[in-house]
């Protein structure tokens, strides 16, 4: 089966006066039809830049320097602006983080939906208005016919996000890129938006790239998850395996930092020491090695390729010992027994 989206060896560069910064470095993943792929990582990991590169909206001077981006088997990287503009909206929908910046405050919601529909589909104005109403009903906006005449400021934050989702689906795209679609919303509205995305994906067979920093949203919504660190893929696999049995030390740290309902209220959350490196100061070898408690000499000398794990791949040398089905803690113990010095390992590390 041809994947809806295929990204191979993507590299995004940003030229500056002090040299060229590499924002995305050799990133590869696929999204199958009807699949939700979650993309997670700290701020600055490269999640939003990946989405912008796919849809052709990188801020200059940022550009795709290498790699391939294919939509249903057809390469779309390097297309002329006019050709890419026809793909945006028609074949790829985009849900941005802040719905206020996605909606024109001077135009009614109905006018914006109708304009989007008529731009990509050949139909009458009356038919486009009927479809706009249907879209608002589909995303759960009550009294949809009346709300077509409303302005963006007359909607709540959650309702505006529903309108943005309707806009992204207006031309029945093959792929929707949702960039932090629940960040500015309260918890109850987040749950509604997550349920809406899941239902629309199932009903329409639309593929979704869900970009977020919230592992809770990923666990609720995604089928698979891709963990980014400093513009590189740390781990990719089924959401159940990545959440319950993370195979990369960075993912282990992310999962350990999530508060539990059963934890002692006086207990401190686990932390990953240090911070994400700046683009101009990414360390040699594995980018995570200065913060990794399992790092050994090879980690600072060589860059790890993604090694097979139980349900995906992890870019960690701990899986180069023949123990790809073991969590990083057990691989670290195996490495230690083999005479490899593992710095800072603790016996109670979450695996």
Comparing 6-10, 26-30, 327-331, the range with the smallest average pLDDT is 327-331
Rounded to whole angstroms, the Cα distance separating 13 from 61 reads 8
The three-class DSSP label of residue 340 is coil
Q: How confident is the model at residue 76 (pLDDT cuts 50, 70, 90)?
A: very high
Quick check: is 302 in a domain?
yes
Query: Which range marks the domain in which residue 343 is found?
Result: 245-259+285-351
The number of domains in the chain is: 1
**What mean pLDDT is reported for the chain?**
86
| Dihedrals phi, psi of 66, to nearest 5 degrees | -160, 165
Is pLDDT at 228 greater than 80 in this prediction?
Answer: yes
Comparing 78-87, 120-129, 330-339, the range with the smallest average pLDDT is 330-339
Is pLDDT at 242 greater than 60 in this prediction?
Answer: yes
- pLDDT recorded at residue 4: 95
Quick check: is 307 in a domain?
yes
Quick check: is 99 in a domain?
no
Quick check: is 71 in a domain?
no
Is pLDDT at 39 greater than 50 in this prediction?
Answer: yes
Count the alpha carbons within 13 Å of 115 in the hemisphere toward its beta carbon: 8
Quick check: is 320 in a domain?
yes
Q: How confident is the model at residue 321 (pLDDT cuts 50, 70, 90)?
A: low
Quick check: is 188 in a domain?
no
Comparing 8-22, 171-185, 273-287, the range with the smallest average pLDDT is 171-185
Quick check: is 227 in a domain?
no
| Distant-in-sequence, close-in-space partners of 174: CB < 8 Å, separation ≥ 6 | 4, 33, 71, 72, 91, 92, 206, 207
Quick check: is 306 in a domain?
yes
Rounded to whole angstroms, the Cα distance separating 41 from 44 reads 8
Q: Alpha helix locations (H) across the chain?
A: 47-55, 81-87, 99-102, 109-120, 125-138, 144-147, 157-169, 187-204, 215-221, 239-244, 249-256, 297-301, 328-337
Is pLDDT at 35 greater than 90 in this prediction?
Answer: yes
């Amino acid at each position: 089966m041809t994947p809806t989206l295929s990204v191979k060896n993507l590299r995004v560069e940003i030229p500056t006066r002090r040299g060229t910064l590499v924002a995305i470095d050799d990133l590869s993943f696929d999204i199958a039809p009807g699949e939700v792929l979650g993309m997670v990582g700290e701020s600055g990991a490269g999640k939003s830049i990946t989405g912008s590169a796919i849809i052709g909206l990188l801020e200059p001077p940022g550009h795709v320097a290498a790699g391939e981006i294919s939509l249903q088997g057809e390469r779309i990287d390097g297309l002329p602006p006019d050709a890419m503009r026809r793909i945006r909206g028609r074949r790829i929908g985009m849900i941005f983080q802040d719905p206020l910046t996605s909606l024109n405050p001077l135009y009614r919601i109905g006018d914006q939906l109708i304009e989007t529909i008529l731009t990509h589909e050949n139909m009458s104005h009356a038919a486009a208005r009927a479809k706009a109403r249907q879209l608002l009903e589909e995303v759960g906006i009550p009294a949809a016919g009346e709300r077509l005449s409303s302005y963006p400021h007359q909607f709540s934050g959650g309702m505006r996000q529903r309108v943005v989702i309707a806009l992204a689906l207006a031309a029945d795209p093959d792929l929707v890129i949702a960039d932090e679609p629940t960040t500015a919303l309260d918890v109850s509205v987040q749950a509604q938006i997550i349920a809406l995305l899941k239902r629309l994906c199932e009903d329409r067979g639309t593929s979704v790239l869900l970009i977020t920093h919230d592992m809770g949203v990923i666990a609720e919504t995604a089928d698979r998850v891709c963990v980014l660190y400093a513009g590189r893929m740390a781990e990719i696999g089924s959401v159940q395996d990545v959440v319950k049995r993370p195979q990369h030390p960075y993912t282990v740290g992310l999962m350990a930092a999530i508060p539990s309902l059963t934890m002692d209220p006086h207990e401190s959350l686990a932390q990953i020491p240090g911070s994400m490196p700046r683009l101009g100061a990414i360390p040699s070898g594995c980018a995570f090695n200065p913060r990794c408690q399992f790092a050994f000499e090879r980690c600072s000398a060589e860059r790890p390729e993604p090694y097979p794990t139980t349900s995906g791949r992890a870019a960690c040398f701990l899986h180069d010992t023949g123990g790809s089905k073991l969590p990083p803690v057990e691989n670290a113990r195996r490495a230690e027994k083999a005479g490899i010095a593992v710095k800072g390992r603790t016996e109670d590390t979450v695996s």
